[in-house]
């Protein structure tokens, strides 16, 4: 496998059939750790992600990240000839990733049942808005809708304003993370059973899964968590605070021990013993008053001065970083979280680093997403399937590749 001799997923072959975000992000995560991910696009109709986001010299800046480390082939899965080729690839692969609307793969004759007959070890990772079963399963379901129906939008924003969204596609990303966990779990289980299975990830469920105690809060106490702006209900102090130089910083000091250290940093150690602030519940009850006292202190110092004091006293705190701040931060550099990768059209391209970091077999970024669709057709179809040039020409002539 290309450049993956020592990567932990070396030897695992993945067919990525999905588009845009959730499915391809799963493929990216697997590819970062050495899986041979083969990105499949229909001929003449690219993944829309190629053109999303800001552009430089006409090149989309999201695609090189989302499809890094992957091979690119074209294949028309709507035609029987293309379906036959995919089935041949299934025989030689371990995992299929798809994020079409449920029923699409079945319509093409590519259901898990059909494909598992060809390769009983095949793991099919299926991501959709509402999952493969249930009354909503056939609905179109983008991440934005799943964020809303999973409960996240209801608690995001300020109480005097409409529900807001987070500034990234968090629903799709969460779904991809859960899909990856499911995929690796199924891969590990296959070592014992020798059999594949379906990993069914619903985006709304991925969102709902991180919604903490909102359901027992409601069912057991009648409390419905609402939008609270920059705070969490019952957790104090944990907020943003304005400094002397008109900069906001974040301070999280809601446990008793950390709050005591915050009081020492503020020069008011006696606050930690004040009955209004000495316990978690007391601080929650007097949250607004406490936040004002803390901000009176931060306003007397610059951001740099206050953060230095907080760091000295071991209080979790930090700036609210923009992309500019991230690029200039030495910790990001030391941790290799911005990795330069050579792009054939843009030169040195800054990539977000691989997460998590493995001590002995860390992941690696060795190339950006393929600039042209089907760049690896010959490698995949000839080397893996043993196709001849004549067979490939015939498929090309019939608009299959």
pLDDT at residue 4 above 80?
no
Which residues constitute the domain of residue 353? Answer: 13-210+334-397
* pLDDT confidence of residue 69: 98
Q: What value does the mean pLDDT take over residues 21-25?
A: 97
For residue 61, give the nearest of 350, 387, 374, 309 by alpha carbon: 350
Q: How far apart are CA 178 and CA 200, in angstroms?
A: 10
* pLDDT confidence of residue 5: 64
Give the residue ranges of DSSP H helices in 157-302: 170-193, 203-209, 214-221, 256-265, 280-285, 287-298
Its pTM stands at 0.94
Residue 324 exposed, middle or buried by CB count within 10 Å (0-12, 13-18, 19+): exposed
Per-residue model confidence as pLDDT tens digits over 81-111: 999 999 999 999 999 999 999 999 999 999 9
Token pair of 279 as six digits: 């316990």
* pLDDT confidence of residue 269: 97
Which residue is catalytic, options 172, 200, 291, 376?
172
| Final residue in a domain of this structure, among 321, 343, 369 | 321
Residue 339: φ, ψ to 5° = -110, 120
In the structure, what pLDDT confidence band is assigned to residue 2 with cuts at 50, 70 and 90? very low
Burial state string for 295-316 with b = 16 or more CB within 10 A and e = fewer than 16: bebbeebebeebbebbeebebb
- Are 84 and 117 in a shared domain? yes
Q: What value does the mean pLDDT take over residues 375-395?
A: 97
> Peptide bond before 75: cis, by omega within 30 degrees of 0?
no
SS3 category, 193 = helix
- Are 44 and 182 in a shared domain? yes
- Are 245 and 117 in a shared domain? no
Token pair of 70 as six digits: 């992957």
- Are 296 and 346 in a shared domain? no
Per-residue model confidence as pLDDT tens digits over 26-73: 999 999 999 999 999 999 999 999 999 899 999 999 999 999 999 999
- Are 305 and 255 in a shared domain? yes
- Are 146 and 266 in a shared domain? no
- Are 266 and 198 in a shared domain? no
Question: For 250, which DSSP code?
Answer: E
Q: What value does the mean pLDDT take over residues 233-260?
A: 96
Task: Say how many CA atoms lie within 13 Å of 199 toward its Cβ.
Answer: 32
* pLDDT confidence of residue 322: 96
Token pair of 197 as six digits: 């299975």
Q: How far apart are CA 331 and CA 325, in angstroms?
A: 11
- CATH code of residue 146: 3.40.50.10540
* DSSP string across 324-377: HHHHH-HHHHHTT-EEEEEETTTEEEEEEPPSS--SSS------PSPSSTTTTH
172 noted as active-site residue: yes
* DSSP string across 34-84: T-EEEEEE-TT---GGGG-S-EETTEESSHHHHTTT-EEEE--TTSHHHHH
Q: How far apart are CA 18 and CA 37, in angstroms?
A: 12
- Are 266 and 367 in a shared domain? no
Q: Would residue 223 count as lying in a domain? A: no
- CATH code of residue 252: 3.30.1540.10
Per-residue model confidence as pLDDT tens digits over 156-201: 999 999 999 999 999 999 999 999 999 999 999 999 999 999 999 9
Per-residue model confidence as pLDDT tens digits over 115-148: 999 999 999 999 999 999 999 999 988 999 999 9
- Are 381 and 257 in a shared domain? no
| Final residue in a domain of this structure, among 278, 299, 321 | 321
- Are 159 and 270 in a shared domain? no
- Are 205 and 311 in a shared domain? no
**Contact assessment for residue 366 and residue 79, using Cβ atoms and an 8 Å cutoff:** no
Residue 262: φ, ψ to 5° = -60, -45
pLDDT at residue 3 above 80?
no
Q: Would residue 252 count as lying in a domain? A: yes
Q: Would residue 145 count as lying in a domain? A: yes
Residue 123: φ, ψ to 5° = -105, 125
Relative to beta strand 71-74, strand 59-60 is: unpaired
Domain count, the chain: 2
In the structure, what pLDDT confidence band is assigned to residue 6 with cuts at 50, 70 and 90? confident
- Are 284 and 317 in a shared domain? yes
Per-residue model confidence as pLDDT tens digits over 325-383: 999 999 999 999 999 999 999 999 999 999 999 999 999 999 999 999 999 999 999 99
């Amino acid at each position: 496998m290309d450049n993956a001799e020592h990567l932990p997923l070396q030897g695992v072959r993945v067919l990525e059939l999905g588009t845009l975000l959730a499915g391809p992000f799963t493929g990216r995560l697997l590819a970062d750790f050495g899986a041979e991910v083969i990105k499949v696009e229909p001929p003449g109709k690219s993944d829309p992600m190629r053109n999303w986001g800001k552009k430089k010299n006409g090149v989309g800046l999201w695609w090189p990240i989302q499809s890094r480390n992957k091979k690119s082939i074209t294949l028309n899965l709507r035609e029987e000839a293309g379906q036959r080729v995919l089935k041949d690839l299934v025989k030689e692969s371990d995992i299929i990733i798809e994020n079409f609307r449920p029923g699409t793969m079945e319509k093409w004759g590519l259901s898990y049942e059909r494909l598992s007959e060809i390769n009983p070890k095949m793991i099919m990772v299926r991501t959709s808005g509402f999952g493969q079963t249930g009354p909503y399963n056939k609905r179109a379901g983008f991440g934005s809708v799943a964020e809303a129906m999973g409960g996240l939008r209801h608690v995001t924003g300020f109480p005097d304003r409409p529900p807001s969204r987070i500034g990234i596609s968090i629903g799709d990303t969460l779904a991809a993370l859960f899909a990856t966990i499911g995929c690796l779990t199924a891969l590990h289980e296959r070592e014992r059973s020798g059999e594949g299975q379906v990993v069914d990830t619903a985006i709304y469920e991925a969102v709902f899964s991180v919604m903490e105690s909102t359901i027992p809060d409601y069912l057991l106490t009648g409390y419905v968590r609402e939008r609270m702006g920059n705070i969490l209900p019952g957790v104090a102090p944990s907020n943003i605070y304005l400094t002397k130089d008109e900069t906001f910083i974040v301070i999280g000091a809601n446990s008793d021990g950390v709050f005591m250290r915050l009081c020492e940093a503020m020069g008011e150690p006696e606050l930690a013993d004040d009955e209004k602030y000495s316990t978690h519940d007391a601080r929650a009850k007097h949250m607004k008053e406490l936040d004002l006292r803390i901000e009176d202190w931060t306003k007397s110092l610059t951001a740099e001065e206050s953060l230095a004091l907080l760091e000295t006293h071991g209080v979790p705190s930090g700036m609210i970083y923009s992309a500019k701040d991230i690029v200039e931060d030495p910790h990001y550099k030391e941790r290799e979280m911005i990795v330069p990768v050579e792009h054939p059209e843009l030169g040195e391209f800054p990539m977000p680093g691989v997460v998590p970091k493995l001590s002995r077999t860390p992941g690696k970024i060795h190339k950006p997403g393929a600039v042209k669709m089907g760049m690896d057709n010959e490698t995949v179809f000839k080397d893996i399937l043993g196709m001849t040039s004549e067979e490939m020409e015939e498929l090309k002539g019939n608009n299959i590749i």
